[in-house]
Amino acid sequence: MSSEEIYLNYKGLMFPKETHSLESLEFAQEFKFKDEDVMAVVYPKSGTIWMQEILPLLLNGGDLTPIHTIPNWDRVPWLEEKRLALLVDKMASPRAMVTHFPYQLMPPSFHTSKAKVIYVMRNPKDILVSSYYFHKMAAFLEDPRTFDEFVDTFLEGKVLFGKWTDHVKGWKSAELGNRLMYITYEEMVQDLPAALRQMSDFLGRNLSEDTIQKIAEHCSFKTMKTNKMSNFSLVPKMYMDADKSPFLRKGVLGDWKNHFNSEQLAKFTSAIRKDLDSESFSLPWNLD
């Protein structure tokens, strides 16, 4: 299939038609945020599914019911996907959602509300590797061809939700004061209880140490991989073929070292540095 058949172009960005429609994207633009809403903003393949596991538990004091009974896409829906319109009236407050939207696509009501945002960043080299395998197994995405070709595709921003550097720049320059918290995927992998404590404090939840430990245990990669409400095994094989690559693949740091050769790494590093050249923030990873 051609990319025109697979993707929808909306405001210059690519969205998979399987999960998005012009109606769903307009619905997102008209969405009315409430002050108590909580949103995880995540560039694709940077920890979205993880946040869909974590947010309900932080907000409900560690009650495991939602993560065992509701598929993640209904538990913490995507702002921009078709499902939200079907769920929105049933969502109890505080509502938790996720989005891949760049900052400039956030709806007007977001800016006038007090909704809180946790922005999760991940090392772009690991994002690229994870994205490459996801494109291999998801029938609703274009074939990534070779890894070498996919490096170019990624750097040119010819991927879902555009360039990684544009996404980071937009959210890093967002002036939202105490409504916005930044955390990295790496911090979450290295010390999940500490990351959960930080998020819990940010959301004004006074959770006990026992609750934090319980949430950390149930949100570990190993546990999520076996939870059918979280591991996407409920999705028919015609859409996502786990035989080609499991959806929750490794959840480790630095897998990029097993994929990049020195030439690809030099090209990647140079392109990312150039894109971020005039920015005032620095990245928390060494790109070399």
Asked whether residue 1 carries a pLDDT value surpassing 80, the answer given is no
Q: Report in angstroms the alpha-carbon separations of 154 from 136, 157, 160.
A: 15, 5, 9
Per-residue pLDDT averaged across 46-72, rounded?
92
| Residue 140: per-residue pLDDT | 78
Q: Using one digit for the tens of pLDDT, what is the confidence trace for 3-36?
A: 778 999 999 999 999 999 999 999 999 999 999 9
Angstrom distance (rounded) from CA 180 to CA 41: 10
Tell me the domains of the chain and their CATH numbers: 3-275 (3.40.50.300)
Angle at 221 between CA 198 and CA 158, to 5 degrees: 85
Q: Using one digit for the tens of pLDDT, what is the confidence trace for 139-189?
A: 778 888 999 999 999 999 999 999 999 999 999 999 999 999 999 999 999
Structure tokens at 132: 């490459």
Angstrom distance (rounded) from CA 197 to CA 202: 9
- 251 or 280, greater pLDDT: 280
Angle at 78 between CA 80 and CA 165, to 5 degrees: 75
Q: Using one digit for the tens of pLDDT, what is the confidence trace for 163-172?
A: 999 999 999 9
pLDDT band with cut points at 50, 70 and 90 for residue 247 = very low
Catalytic residue among 100, 135, 167, 218: 100
Angstrom distance (rounded) from CA 74 to CA 94: 15
**Pairing mode, if any, of strands 38-42 and 7-10?**
unpaired
Q: Using one digit for the tens of pLDDT, what is the confidence trace for 69-98?
A: 999 889 999 999 999 999 999 999 999 999
Catalytic site includes residue 218 = no
Structure tokens at 99: 């989005």
pTM of the model: 0.93
Structure tokens at 127: 């994002």
